[in-house]
Amino acid sequence: MNSSTVTSHYGGKLASGETKKRISFISEIKSMEHIVKILTIENVTHDVKRFRCEKPDGYHFVAGQATEVSINKDGWREEKRPFTFTSLDESADLEFVIKIYSDHTGVTNELNSLKPGDGLIVRDVWGTIEYKQPGYFIAGGAGITPFIAIIRSLHKKGKLDGNKLFFSNKTARDIILQEEFTSMLYGNAIYTITDEPSNIYLNGFINEQFLRSHVDDFSKNFYLCGPPKMIEAMQEILGKLGASPEAVVFEK
């Protein structure tokens, strides 16, 4: 977890007295908990749900940031898990897109039993995946969530040009929000499937050969989010192919 983006989010050029006031304001914000009511719950895929919730007054975030969420229910309030905002800061509501793990009794399994009207607890915002310049978004499975907000935001501002999405999933039915990504990025949304043959999508992992054939400029930014093994592999391959470490953005 990294609080530096919280600082930069609330920061800016301030006189020193103001800075002190701002820092104490930030620590108040950081420790704040907000109970928000769930407004709607929808299925996005067979194991991913979209939760639309109330947004607390004065609550702000940058596309790509996350918060620690817990369920406002006895026995669950202290079970905090990080989830990324998939709505935009200017939206009236908060949206989360959450993969449910029903194989054990964790928070996501419990989220699966919630109904509209139930409450979540959201906290300070943080995250290190922040958009810099056009480049390549590389996502594995539920690792797509920070890119949902970033790509939606760029699309809304008409600034998606020069960006490409490579989205890897085990099977076709695991692809989150495919229609929406294709409607925003057209041919620059490229899907690959690793665990079943497909005539519609590319087949196989995002590896060196994949990157060589789909990346035309290794000096651009690379935004990575997915399973740790995938991130490690991408960093190694991108380094080998000439990407500078400063241009590779991922959650630290």
Ligand X SMILES: Cc1cc2nc3c(=O)[nH]c(=O)nc-3n(C[C@H](O)[C@H](O)[C@H](O)COP(=O)(O)OP(=O)(O)OC[C@H]3O[C@@H](n4cnc5c(N)ncnc54)[C@H](O)[C@@H]3O)c2cc1C
Chain residues in the site for ligand X (CB under 6 A): 66, 81-84, 96-99, 101, 103-104, 106-109, 127, 142, 145, 251
Convert 92-120 to b/e letters by CB count within 10 Å (16 or more is b). Answer: eebbbbbbbeeeeeebbebbeebeeebbb
CA-wise closest residue to 31 among 82, 68, 65, 70 = 68
CA-wise closest residue to 47 among 137, 171, 138 = 171
Taking the least distance from each CB to ligand X, the nearer of 83 and 166 is 83
Residue nearest to ligand X (CB): 106
Adjacency order of strands within the sheet including 221-225: 202-203, 189-193, 164-169, 135-140, 221-225, 248-250
Taking the least distance from each CB to ligand X, the nearer of 77 and 81 is 81
Shortest Å distance, C-beta 240 to ligand X:
26
Taking the least distance from each CB to ligand X, the nearer of 76 and 205 is 76
CA-wise closest residue to 160 among 141, 180, 139, 140 = 180
Shortest Å distance, C-beta 66 to ligand X:
4
What are the tokens at 212? 């060589």
- Cα–Cα distance for residue pair 149/130, rounded to 1 Å: 10
Taking the least distance from each CB to ligand X, the nearer of 144 and 243 is 144
Taking the least distance from each CB to ligand X, the nearer of 5 and 188 is 5
3-state helix, strand, coil in the chain (%, to 5): 30, 30, 40
Shortest Å distance, C-beta 85 to ligand X:
8
Shortest Å distance, C-beta 248 to ligand X:
17
> End-to-end CA distance of the chain, in Å?
7
Shortest Å distance, C-beta 120 to ligand X:
13
Taking the least distance from each CB to ligand X, the nearer of 176 and 185 is 176
Shortest Å distance, C-beta 142 to ligand X:
4
- 87 in helix, strand or coil? coil
Taking the least distance from each CB to ligand X, the nearer of 174 and 251 is 251
Shortest Å distance, C-beta 187 to ligand X:
26
